[in-house]
Structure 1
């Protein structure tokens, strides 16, 4: 379990940490179909966003609604080669990959939404080659099967990031789509460990006799969702001070892992970058905690 987003608590945390700059988010595939997990942090002015969205209508909406600290560019981020963008009836399915007819036939859904209505020849750009992109802390990515190409051609940029939130899938919605284990392997080589799922959908088979089964009761197939990967997940002491600060902010405000945030604060306290009292000041703002110890420092007794 974790605590819900609380702007006042996050503001207090940022005050304790006093980072050298505002937390930065890069959103590759920023099509505004859903509320992004960093929306609360952005609304309170706690982060800056650099988003990439090649679909004209979606990009226009992003730019129209953009507030302070939001920057949106039309790049197709990938491996730097020329490719074909498959524009689908539902823009959320638009991809550089071809939708998988076999998967859709087995599940009995997505066929109409994933129908390719236009094919556009595009030049992709490597994340490492985007000159105007500043150092960032979180990569949020949803590019419908092209995530590994972005990772592999963005390794230089990702060395400064502490967190990746990526759409992952356990089933091939697209032909030759890298799945969850593939993403975990690529990011693992770069020092990122799988931390949690923000959500994970499941689907039911709908072929043959399965059509008699009520969809809401029979959904056995693991589907897709958003996964959080964290750099040096079990070795936070390897992160620099500023990286730990931004990780703590993101852990609280974006992916709601306040225990991980407290662990990051603990490393900063050990380095005497913040005072132990300040760690407890933050913990006092969280629900479901034990009584503050009389002696400032890490509590030796674990709370049940």
Structure 2
């Protein structure tokens, strides 16, 4: 854990952990909130409808992670396309036209097993508390998940959503649909954590460095935060949780300092907290000192 996150944990001493809901918590890599979990600064509800993926999550989950083998989306019956590569599984089928252009993902075509399931919205789950952060990677169903969580997200400070730049599945919503849904609920785009791109298929592919020359954007995780322009509408607790998320998940240290400055102006934390936070940051993030 970073020195800066440890300092925040000691200084802000939140009354409860940050509540995170992770929809599509496929266990192919460590979650972006792993640093918060290690410090017991987060409690996570992880949703994964793919049985094998859910079993792997459950086997490795610490006490502060609750794994739920349920499908989240627009309430009702649906057909889930379970692909052998579980991270590709979706309510939508992989597009033949898209893969034809991209030259990638074709090995997944027609490999799905159709599974009937029942979708539930997050708002229809009384056992689920109001949340501070939603992370959603639902392979095309992100908009349905967000639209069905208006109540649970009413006090949330952040959403981390996979945003598709180029269609992979037939019928999946476009990126402007996702952006509109989040803005309608009071969130604004803060940053991208990463973007994935691929080299397009071509006759010279064997002679090229695929990683270096890949230009077609596919998708990436976008961070949206509660619109900060009306500071009076953001509570002290929301500011503290946003600061912890900004350091431990987003790597947005300037956003942390914005939160600390606001908390200091309210008399919640001492005025020197922001300066002490900068002291804890890696040297590469600080301005170079000019010797006299």
TM-score w.r.t. structure 2 length? Answer: 0.92
Cα deviation, 1:155-192, whole Å, max 9, x if unaligned, reads: 11111211111111111100121232221111011111
Whole-angstrom CA distance in 1 between matches of 2:217 and 2:74 = 28
Q: Does 1:47 align with 2:66?
A: no
Question: Which residue pairs with 2:72 in the alignment?
Answer: 77
> 277, 283, 290: which one pairs with 2:278?
283
Question: Which residue pairs with 1:295 in the alignment?
Answer: none
Specify the SS of the correspondent of 1:67: coil
> 174, 178, 181: which one pairs with 1:183?
178
Q: Does 1:195 align with 2:187?
A: no
Q: Does 1:158 align with 2:153?
A: yes
Shift of the alpha carbon at 1:61?
1.2
Specify the SS of the correspondent of 2:178: helix
Specify the SS of the correspondent of 1:276: coil
Q: Is the contact between residue 138 and residue 164 of structure 1 (CA under 8 Å) also seen in structure 2?
A: yes
Question: Which residue pairs with 1:23 in the alignment?
Answer: 18
Q: Does 1:87 align with 2:82?
A: yes
TM-score w.r.t. structure 1 length? Answer: 0.88
Equivalences for residues 1-304 of structure 1 within 5 A = 6=2, 8-113=3-108, 115-206=110-201, 209=203, 214=208, 215-287=210-282, 288-289=285-286
CA, structure 1 residues 289+219, in 2 after alignment: closer, same or farther (shift >3 Å)? closer
Aligned-residue CA RMSD (Å):
1.9
Shift of the alpha carbon at 1:44?
2.2
Structure 1, unpaired ranges of 5+: 292-304
CA, structure 1 residues 289+127, in 2 after alignment: closer, same or farther (shift >3 Å)? same
Aligned length in residues:
285
Q: Is the contact between residue 81 and residue 125 of structure 1 (CA under 8 Å) also seen in structure 2?
A: yes
Whole-angstrom CA distance in 1 between matches of 2:247 and 2:87 = 28
Whole-angstrom CA distance in 2 between matches of 1:266 and 1:213 = 52
Cα deviation, 1:248-295, whole Å, max 9, x if unaligned, reads: 00000111001101101111111111121223222221234469xxxx
Q: Is the contact between residue 94 and residue 108 of structure 2 (CA under 8 Å) also seen in structure 1?
A: no
Whole-angstrom CA distance in 2 between matches of 1:212 and 1:74 = 42
CA, structure 1 residues 216+16, in 2 after alignment: closer, same or farther (shift >3 Å)? closer
Shift of the alpha carbon at 1:204?
2.5
CA, structure 1 residues 40+211, in 2 after alignment: closer, same or farther (shift >3 Å)? same
